[in-house]
Amino acid sequence: MTQHTPGPWDDQYPQHSPGEIHIYGADGNIVGSVWGIENDAQKNAVSITNARLIAAAPTQHDALHQAIECLAWRGDETKEQLLAFIQDAQEVIRAAIAKAEEAH
């Protein structure tokens, strides 16, 4: 399977092009772009939210893998260990959601 561009990804707003948002990978290359409408605040707000969600994709991908590991049944866990695994899974999932919802 082909690997995606390594994260973290970051959304950036070029000064020379209002309404345009680029998503950069950790390697500095553009992995995607989102365009809004220069004079439409509502559409631009949606575009910004979309860009943040796209930029959070590698973090969310990693969080899902970590959550699966945290929740994997091993067969010999105590109740306390199971609760700790669930709390760990919740933590990584919350962090991934926060990345998508963070404001710049």
pLDDT in 10s for each residue of the chain, 104 residues? 788 898 899 998 877 777 789 999 999 999 999 987 767 777 778 888 899 999 999 988 888 888 888 777 777 888 888 888 888 888 888 888 888 887 65
Q: Dihedral (C-alpha) 97, 66, 62, 8: value to the nearest 10 degrees? A: 80
H/E stretch holding 39 reads none
pTM over 0.85: no
Q: Tell me, what's the pLDDT at 104?
A: 56
Q: Tell me, what's the pLDDT at 31?
A: 94
